[in-house]
Structure 1
Amino acid sequence: MSIRRIYQYPEPVLRVKAKRIEVFNDDLKELIADMAETMYDAPGIGLAAPQIGESIQLLITDIGDEREEQRYKAFINPQIILSEGSQIDEEGCLSVPELTANVKRFKKITLVYQDEEGNEHELEAEDRFAVVLQHEIDHLNGILFIDHLTPLKRNLYKKKMKKTMVAGKEPA
């Protein structure tokens, strides 16, 4: 296992629609383990493969509760097939440093996905877990959470990042 680089806005890999995974092998399992180590090191609660430069339909999320040590789940080729309700929750992103904002998402979703072996599953998620899954699935479609913000908030963030890049600083 190894910690991978997390790509940050505005790097182009974050805007590419990820390709469907067709091969389920040890390389995929190793990538999933690397993603978990990277996510927990960041620290984060979700990570999509495009965030580490891999344009494939793979995401992981932390599924442990506060009493448990790091426990994660991989979702391969995930698709939301049902959604209902709405909620507004504060989000942040490992690829969009120094920004948190309220984002409107579905309150409840039904997801189909494959596991590390290629087996298909269906899962219902609601509340915070549904938000995390929607956020990470957006990454697989080249969408960042800043795309859900008002144009004013998005432009203020873009200007801030340009100043940081011109100054030659790394975002915190």
Structure 2
Amino acid sequence: MALLSIRTYGDPVLRKRAHEVTDIDQMIVRLSQNMIETVRNAGGIGLAATQVGELPSLFVIDPTPLGMEEKPFVVINPRIVEVAGELRREEGCLSIPGLSQELVRPARVVIRGIDLDGKEITLEATSILARAFLHEIDHLNGVLFIDHLKPGQRELLRGKLREIARKKE
């Protein structure tokens, strides 16, 4: 397994939509394994393929930082089936290092996708795990968490975002 480079704010790949995965081949398996290793090494919870410069519709979640003993989730071609409630909470992103903001997201989510065995899976999550699922699905659609902020909030972050984008160059 190998650590992958996490793309940061300003990289055009973060604004691209991921492509549907039609064949779960060795490239997809290896990518997911490398993404799990990368998110663990970075101290994060989730990572979408677009964050490492790849375009298959795939994300991984490592629930161990949340105190959960479950193995990592690998979700291919995820789609949101149901959302409920609201939860206001601080949110950050490995692709926007050093920046976090309070954001309202659904408190509960049900998603469907495919696992590495090609089987359809349905996952239900609440609280921070629900937030992580939604955050990663956003990435696969070219959406960053800062896109959910009110214009005034985003304006206050403009300097910090410019600084992150400059470091990338």
Give your verdict on TM over 0.5. yes
- Look up the equivalent residue of 2:59 and give its one-letter code: L
Query: What is the distance in 1 between the residues matched to 2:68 and 2:108?
Result: 25
SS at match of 2:161: helix
Q: What pairs with 1:10-159 in structure 2 (closer than 5 Å)?
A: 10-64=10-64, 66=67, 68=69, 71-159=71-159
| TM-score normalised according to structure 2 size | 0.91
Structure 2: runs of 5 or more not aligned:
none
Query: What is the distance in 1 between the residues matched to 2:38 and 2:4?
Result: 6
Instruction: Give the superposition deviation at 1:18.
Output: 0.7
Q: Structure 1 78/156 Cα, relative in aligned 2: closer, same or farther at 3 Å?
A: same
More displaced stretch, 57-66 vs 115-124: 57-66
Instruction: Give the superposition deviation at 1:124.
Output: 1.3
Structure 1: runs of 5 or more not aligned:
none
SS at match of 1:55: coil
SS at match of 1:113: strand
Q: Is the 8 A contact 2:4 2:34 kept in 1?
A: yes
- Look up the equivalent residue of 1:132 and give its one-letter code: A
- Look up the equivalent residue of 1:56 and give its one-letter code: P
Instruction: Give the superposition deviation at 1:122.
Output: 1.1
**Count of aligned residue pairs for this structure pair:** 168
SS at match of 2:7: coil
Query: What is the distance in 1 between the residues matched to 2:59 and 2:51?
Result: 10
Q: Is the 8 A contact 2:50 2:140 kept in 1?
A: yes
- Look up the equivalent residue of 1:66 and give its one-letter code: G
- Percent identity between matched residues is 39
Instruction: Give the superposition deviation at 1:101.
Output: 0.7
SS at match of 2:97: strand
